[in-house]
Amino acid sequence: MLFRSGSKYMDEIDFSNERFNGVMAAGWIRDLESSDSRIHKEKTIEKALMAARLGSADAQCFLFNCYQAYNPFYTFHVRQVDEVAGQRDRPNPWPKFWALLESLRTRSFTGHVARDAIADCSELFDDDEWNNLCRRVIIKDLRCGISEKTLNKVLKNTDWVIPVFSCQLAQDSTDRPSKMTGIKRLEPKLDGVRVLAVVQGMNISLFSRNGKEFHNFPDIAKAIQINRAIFQRNLGSGGRFVLDGEVVGESFQKLMKQAQRKSDVETSNMVYNIFDIIPLDDFQRGYWNAQQYKRFEYLDRAKSALEDATGQRTLRIVSGLEVDLDSAEGHDVMRRYAEDCVAEGYEGIMIKDVGAPYVCKRADYWMKWKPTISVDLNIVGFEEGTGRNENRLGAIICEGVDNDRRIRVNVGSGFSDSLRDEYWANRDELLGHLVEVQADAVTQNQDGSYSLRFPRFLRFRDFEAGSKL
């Protein structure tokens, strides 16, 4: 089998077998595209699943292609594939196509070689199969109105479930006072973009915390590739592991612009600050039982080697400090450490349980402390300004849930005059996007709802509406 499916049922199917030659699978895409109804799309996937279990090669082919297109751990490093026209009665050799995907995924084919291999493969397929399925798999967008959530809703409790990309997230320490005990590791809270580096031998892929692939930090990917052996030592992961960290640039604004670009326009002076490491298989399972202090030891061993690497300025291991929060002295040390971090320009501090595992969800194993609070909310409306702000933005209306509290607030500060003009002119495009709002505190209204005291706009936090970095 060419791909690790993670599925017992899929592992029983030999996708390299010639029985898949000549299969016509794009019909399932056309069926999905025929209606915008969510129920119709779910029924179509149900039919495909039933047909696949009964031995239908076209249904198995379709679902296998879905698995590759939506699996966040399969990246083919291609952003555009040309359509073809006028091709009929071709052999449709799916095993050759899947072999091509494997070569793209492992970067055996890159650059002009990859381009030519894709072009050669396209000539072997009917134009319908190539345009509506093959090329969409390569660019990892089937463009038929379904997502991995749609697939997994139908495929739940089956062997075809798409892996979900997730990572460990922190709780707010102010909401967890009972957890501020025991031995903790303190680290600066960086003001950057969370980046998960998935290392599979020579293949390095960078993702946001929600599985959105970054194509625009080539210097960082190259540095990881060159120094991957430093991180691999004693990890026992067979060269497959994940680095968890934060990319920091000269300014957050420049960094966000670069993160959202589709090219490496400007990546100088950007540093990948690494604070955790996990074997890839465990990351895919969503859990690694190695205690936090052991994971620190892996990175500490890598730290000195990285410092000695010639010309290595792109990767940095985050330093920290252990304190005992069962003592008054420990709390005093944490307070002074937090004050120093804020004075140096950091957002605050991270507080990590040294005995905890890595879990791919929000948990109180990691906690964050800031001098002010910040929440990520969706833009649900806009208010025109008055006086000098007439005919431009007065406030954005935001809603969202933070720590099980539904917050609705009008945010009218934190905008320059130029931003008020720009955001008002483009308000329709900005609707639904995620923004980070800073405030002094969460307040509760008389009706039981929540708001923010002295809210201030900080920044956008997404690629596209609702897609958080």
pLDDT tens digits for range 236-265: 878 899 999 999 986 555 665 655 555 555
Interacting residues of 349 by C-beta distance below 8 A, sequence separation 6+: 186, 187, 188, 189, 334, 337, 338, 341, 368, 369
What is the distance between the alpha carbons of residues 21 and 10, in angstroms, rounded to a whole number? 18
- Let me know: does 109 contact 32? Beta carbons within 8 Å: no
Sheet strand arrangement including 393-402: 441-444, 450-453, 405-411, 393-402, 373-384, 434-439, 456-460
Measured CA to CA in angstroms, residue 394 lies from 316, 416, 456 at distances of 41, 11, 13
What is the distance between the alpha carbons of residues 394 and 386, in angstroms, rounded to a whole number? 7
Statement: 373-460 belongs to CATH 3.20.20.70: no
Please, what sign has the CA dihedral across residues 218, 223, 229, 230?
negative
| Per-residue pLDDT at 446 | 80
Using CB atoms within 10 Å of the CB of residue 76, give its burial: 0 to 12 exposed, 13 to 18 middle, 19+ buried.
Answer: buried
Tokens of 43: 């029924």
CA gyration radius for the chain? Answer: 25
Backbone angles phi, psi at 302, to 5 degrees: -75, -25
**pLDDT 10s digits, 145-170:** 999 999 999 998 887 889 888 999 99
What is the distance between the alpha carbons of residues 133 and 63, in angstroms, rounded to a whole number? 11
Beta-bridged to residue 185, according to DSSP, are 322, 352
| Per-residue pLDDT at 109 | 94
- Let me know: does 443 contact 450? Beta carbons within 8 Å: yes
Beta-bridged to residue 271, according to DSSP, are 248
| Per-residue pLDDT at 6 | 44
Please, what sign has the CA dihedral across residues 200, 201, 206, 208?
positive
* Side-chain-side CA neighbours of residue 418 (13 Å): 0
User: Where in the chain is CATH 2.40.50.140?
Assistant: 373-460
Q: Between helices 57-70 and 148-155, what is the axis angle to 10°?
A: 130
| Per-residue pLDDT at 345 | 86
| Per-residue pLDDT at 118 | 97
Q: Of 47, 61, 48, 49, which is closest to residue 13 (Cα–Cα)?
A: 61
How far from the centroid of its chain's Cα atoms is residue 199's Cα?
15
Tell me which DSSP letter residue 133 carries. Answer: I
What is the distance between the alpha carbons of residues 333 and 91, in angstroms, rounded to a whole number? 70
Measured CA to CA in angstroms, residue 54 lies from 16, 42, 58, 61 at distances of 19, 19, 11, 13
What is the distance between the alpha carbons of residues 414 and 466, in angstroms, rounded to a whole number? 21
What is the distance between the alpha carbons of residues 278 and 167, in angstroms, rounded to a whole number? 10
Question: Which pTM was predicted?
Answer: 0.75
| Per-residue pLDDT at 103 | 95
Q: Of 10, 48, 3, 54, which is closest to residue 26 (Cα–Cα)?
A: 48
User: Where in the chain is CATH 3.30.470.30?
Assistant: 169-369
Statement: 169-369 belongs to CATH 3.40.50.300: no
Measured CA to CA in angstroms, residue 319 lies from 18, 235, 316, 340 at distances of 54, 20, 9, 14
Please, what sign has the CA dihedral across residues 28, 29, 35, 41?
positive
First to last CA, the chain: 34
- Block means of pLDDT (10 residues each) for the chain, 469 residues, are 47 86 96 95 96 94 95 90 94 97 92 96 97 96 92 88 91 89 96 93 90 87 92 85 91 58 60 96 93 94 82 88 96 95 91 97 94 91 93 95 90 94 94 91 85 92 64
Backbone angles phi, psi at 459, to 5 degrees: -175, 160
Q: Of 88, 191, 132, 173, which is closest to residue 352 (Cα–Cα)?
A: 173
